[in-house]
Amino acid sequence: KKKEVQGKLAEAQRLLNSLTAAEKAALAAEQARASRASADRVQLGNSTPASGRAGAAFSAAQSKVGTPYVYGATGPSSYDCSGLTSWAYAQAGVGIPRTSEAQANIGTRIYSQSQLQVGDLVFFFNDLHHVGLYAGNGQTLHAPRPGTAVRYESMSTIGGPFMFGIRV
């Protein structure tokens, strides 16, 4: 799996490197606009509010909206998905494992999206390679992938199925 992911990352980097300066500038501007727009338009609705350590972790993660995604990064100037969640919970005084796969084995599992609370960890894809923080109203706060930044996104557009949540 690691070699497969590294191959995909290498191909993405080759594609990125093949862009002209104008194309790179346009892509960067679009990503910045998308990150700002997602922060401006996210509607968190009447979801169960975060409390205690989940609330503190979620607040910490909110402060990183717009911070670039870098594979393997744990902050404070860049993050990958599990780097963001482990950093956010550390700011709340809670140590959780570093990887999404390990984070999936802590706390209480929640299989129904309707039972999620703000600050719960939410996991995607069958191999659990992506994690974010539940933001309410079907939204997640996460570090999506290379070339993007920490942002809010609908859980329905992540690109892989929601598997379950974890209440830490």
Q: pLDDT tens for residues 49-60?
A: 556 899 899 999
Predicted confidence (pLDDT) at residue 22 exceeds the cutoff of 50: yes
130 is catalytic: yes
Q: Is the pLDDT of residue 39 over 80?
A: no
Lowest mean pLDDT among 25-29, 84-88, 107-111, 148-152: 25-29
pTM of the full predicted structure?
Answer: 0.73
- Candidate list 130, 139, 150, 152, residue with the active-site label: 130
> How far is it, in rounded angstroms, from Cα 58 to Cα 91?
10
Catalytic residue among 117, 142, 143, 153: 142
What is the predicted pLDDT for the residue at 90?
94
Catalytic residue among 81, 84, 88, 133: 81
The total of structural domains in the chain comes to 1
CATH number at residue 95: 3.90.1720.10
Active site residue 129: no
Note down the domain range covering 119. Answer: 2-167
Catalytic residue status for 9: no
Res 88: pLDDT: 96
* Contact criterion met (CB below 8 Å) for 124 and 163: yes
Q: What is the pLDDT of residue 41?
A: 47
Q: Above 80 in pLDDT, residue 63?
A: yes
Specify the higher pLDDT residue, 43 or 165.
Answer: 165
**Widest pairwise Cα distance in the chain:** 48
